Structure 1
Amino acid sequence: MSKPLDETLSKELSERIKSKAKDPFNNAYKAALLTEGCMYVQGFLVGDGKPYRPIEHSWIELETCIVDPTLPHLNKNAEQFFYFPAQHLTVKKLVAAVEEAKEDYPDDEPLPVYDALPHEYYGNLIMGSKKYSEAYKEAEAKCRELNKPKKETDSTS
């Protein structure tokens, strides 16, 4: 079972880091640097309605909750979202991975961070470990559940 989303803390952290709408990985990175005892998480976000598919996303987790600094930009109620984690990193490992990526690939964005090579490739969805594939499949199933076609009621009665 997923941890509950703390909407208030998500909004507070979003303001503190001046989060950007389409930058969940950097938003979560900045939030992780400011939040003691958290884990940086990459995975998938699912909601009711468009885009009708899981979105690769990032957030942080505390012992008791999820904190999503991108939440205020998502334009839906917090209760409409479901989070499917694929990878957890401590802040120490996250910073080391970002620094290494900047050094090894200076022209590329250092985030998101994927597991050690070899990567498994899943179509043009994502690169990551088997955990990514499993998280994506769970998110995809939830997306189908949330977005089932609505049955029309018989109005001729």
Structure 2
Amino acid sequence: MDEVVSNSTAKQIGSKAKSPFENAYKAALLIKDVIYVQGFLCFEGQPFRPIEHSWVEYSDRIVDPSLPHLGRKAADLHYFPAQELPVKKLKAAIEEAKEDYPEDEPLPIYGSQPYEYYGDVMLGGKEYTKAYEAALAKCKELNQPHSRNRN
């Protein structure tokens, strides 16, 4: 996680709370040579389950323009990628979504059908299921009750 670039990018794009897909899209347009990534985020504490999220990556580093809104230290965040799109494919997918479904938000992008189940939503393919299951396992690990020694 590149915390410095994440925070500066958030300021540059006017990052908004609860808009990780839009924030990552804007970051992808701003930063050269990045990959737009959709997947899951998990951390200790509420909501005690994976959160569908988006960020960008470059040079093996994560830039999360939603970081200022997460209320967590970067070191406490765990990212599980499900889908990666180069900026050119991302732009094309958004244009196609706007044409095909003008009444719906174009993001997130789930690829082609058939979709599989994860959580209580039916979107994404097998890669989404794998990422969700890995994130769910990490959430369970992070949120296990701490036992107390009793004597």
Q: TM-score range by the shorter chain?
A: over 0.9
Query: Which amino acid letter does the alignment assign opposite residue 70 of structure 1?
Result: S
Identify which range, 119-128 or 31-40, moves more after superposition: 119-128
Unaligned runs of 5+ residues in structure 2 are: none
TM-superposed CA distance for 1:123, in Å, is: 5.2
Match of 2:86 in 1: 90
Match of 1:138 in 2: 134
The answer as to 2:57 corresponding to 1:52 is: no
Match of 2:74 in 1: 78
Query: Which amino acid letter does the alignment assign opposite residue 87 of structure 1?
Result: Q
In the alignment, is the contact (CA less than 8 A) between 2:37 and 2:85 conserved in 1? yes
Query: Which amino acid letter does the alignment assign opposite residue 98 of structure 1?
Result: I
Question: Please, what TM-score do these two structures have when normalized by structure 1?
Answer: 0.93
CA distance in 1, matches of 2:99, 2:114: 19
The correspondence of residues 103-122 of structure 1 with structure 2, limited to 5 A, is 103-122=99-118
TM-superposed CA distance for 1:122, in Å, is: 3.1
Cα gap change, 1:127 to 1:23, in 2 (>3 Å):
same
CA distance in 1, matches of 2:122, 2:42: 16
TM-superposed CA distance for 1:135, in Å, is: 0.3
CA distance in 1, matches of 2:97, 2:85: 15
Count of aligned residue pairs for this structure pair: 151
Query: Which amino acid letter does the alignment assign opposite residue 153 of structure 1?
Result: N
Partner SS, residue 123 of structure 2: strand
Unaligned runs of 5+ residues in structure 1 are: none
CA distance in 2, matches of 1:48, 1:126: 25
TM-superposed CA distance for 1:126, in Å, is: 4.4
Identity %: 58
TM-superposed CA distance for 1:87, in Å, is: 0.2
CA distance in 1, matches of 2:88, 2:26: 13
The answer as to 2:32 corresponding to 1:36 is: yes
Match of 1:24 in 2: 20
TM-superposed CA distance for 1:116, in Å, is: 1.1
CA distance in 1, matches of 2:12, 2:4: 12
**1:19-55: CA deviation from partner (whole Å, max 9, x where unpaired):** 0010000000000001111000000000011110000
Match of 2:144 in 1: 148
**RMSD (CA atoms):** 1.0
**1:94-141: CA deviation from partner (whole Å, max 9, x where unpaired):** 000001000110000000001112222335234011000000000000
The answer as to 2:61 corresponding to 1:65 is: yes
Match of 1:12 in 2: 8
The structure 1 segments of at least 4 consecutive aligned residues displaced by more than 4 Å after TM superposition are: none
